[in-house]
């Protein structure tokens, strides 16, 4: 890892808000943020709202808190993808979790919202994971994969299991670029 690059667990939004990334929007694509991939009713705040009365009724350290937190986490982890994005021409930035290589070049990867997801820290929920297949002959080097990237293409809402995580979205023949460390 580079000293000025992302650190394990850094979200793309935090990293880019710190002035580390800026890119132009490609013509014909709409920039989406990771929160846009979460279906209505399933944000962390909305899930917490559904449980706030039950949480408030329990005393700190109560044995009932563990199962309640497990129930909340299960709802968060199994939240659906945002069907509104199916077929949309989007541009999204994030971090690479490599899946398929040709030599030392990455041709397929998971795009995830925080650095190290799926490899060094637990994977995000499926609705926060996008499987990216690059066009024939296109690839990202291992060195380039250590920072943030942007991808653009037609988003498909689908569930795809990989060795690293389950993706709730896919983009095939993606256009992409690598952010340079500022």
Q: What is the pLDDT of residues 6-25, one digit of tens each?
A: 554 555 665 455 444 446 78
Same structural domain, 32 and 51: no
Assigned token pair, 160: 């795809």
Q: What is the pLDDT of residue 18?
A: 42
- Whether 54 is in a domain gets the answer yes
Same domain, 105 and 126: yes
Domain, as residue range, for 58: 43-77
Decide if 91 is inside a domain. yes
Ranges under pLDDT 50 in the chain: 1-3, 8, 15, 18-22, 182
Q: What is the pLDDT of residue 115?
A: 79
Q: Are residues 53 and 100 in the same domain?
A: no
CB 111 within 8 A of CB 153: no
Number of domains comprising the chain: 2
pLDDT for 145 = 87
User: Beta strands of 8-71 (E only): which ranges?
Assistant: 30-31
In this structure, the answer to whether residues 100 and 27 fall within a common structural domain is yes
Flag whether 4 is in a domain: no
Q: In the listed set 77, 98, 133, which residue is the last one of a domain according to the structure?
A: 77
CATH number at residue 28: 2.40.50.870
| Strands 105-112 vs 89-102: parallel, antiparallel or unpaired | antiparallel
Distance between CA atoms of residues 46 and 31, nearest Å:
24
* Average pLDDT value over all residues in the chain: 87
- 7 in any annotated domain: no
Cα separations in angstroms, 70 against 64, 73, 168: 10, 5, 22
Q: Are residues 71 and 143 in the same domain?
A: no
With 0.95 as the threshold, say if the pTM is over it: no
pLDDT at 179: 81
Q: Would residue 5 count as lying in a domain?
A: no
Within this chain, do residues 73 and 85 fall inside the same structural domain, yes or no? no
């Amino acid at each position: 890892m580079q000293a000025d690059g992302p650190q394990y667990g850094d979200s793309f939004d935090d990293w880019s808000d710190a002035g580390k990334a800026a890119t132009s929007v490609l013509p014909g694509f709409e920039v989406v943020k990771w929160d846009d991939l979460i279906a209505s009713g399933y944000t962390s705040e909305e899930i917490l709202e559904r449980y706030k009365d039950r949480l408030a009724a329990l005393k700190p350290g109560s044995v009932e808190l563990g199962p309640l937190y497990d129930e909340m986490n299960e709802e968060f982890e199994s939240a659906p993808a945002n069907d509104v994005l199916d077929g949309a021409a989007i541009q999204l930035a994030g971090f690479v979790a490599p899946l398929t290589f040709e030599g030392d070049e990455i041709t397929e990867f998971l795009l995830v919202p925080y650095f190290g997801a799926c490899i060094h820290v637990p994977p995000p929920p499926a609705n926060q994971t996008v499987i990216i297949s690059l066009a024939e002959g296109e690839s990202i080097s291992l060195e380039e994969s250590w920072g943030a990237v942007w991808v653009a293409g037609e988003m498909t809402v689908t569930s795809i299991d990989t060795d690293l995580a389950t993706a709730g979205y896919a983009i095939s023949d993606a256009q992409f670029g690598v952010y340079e460390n500022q």
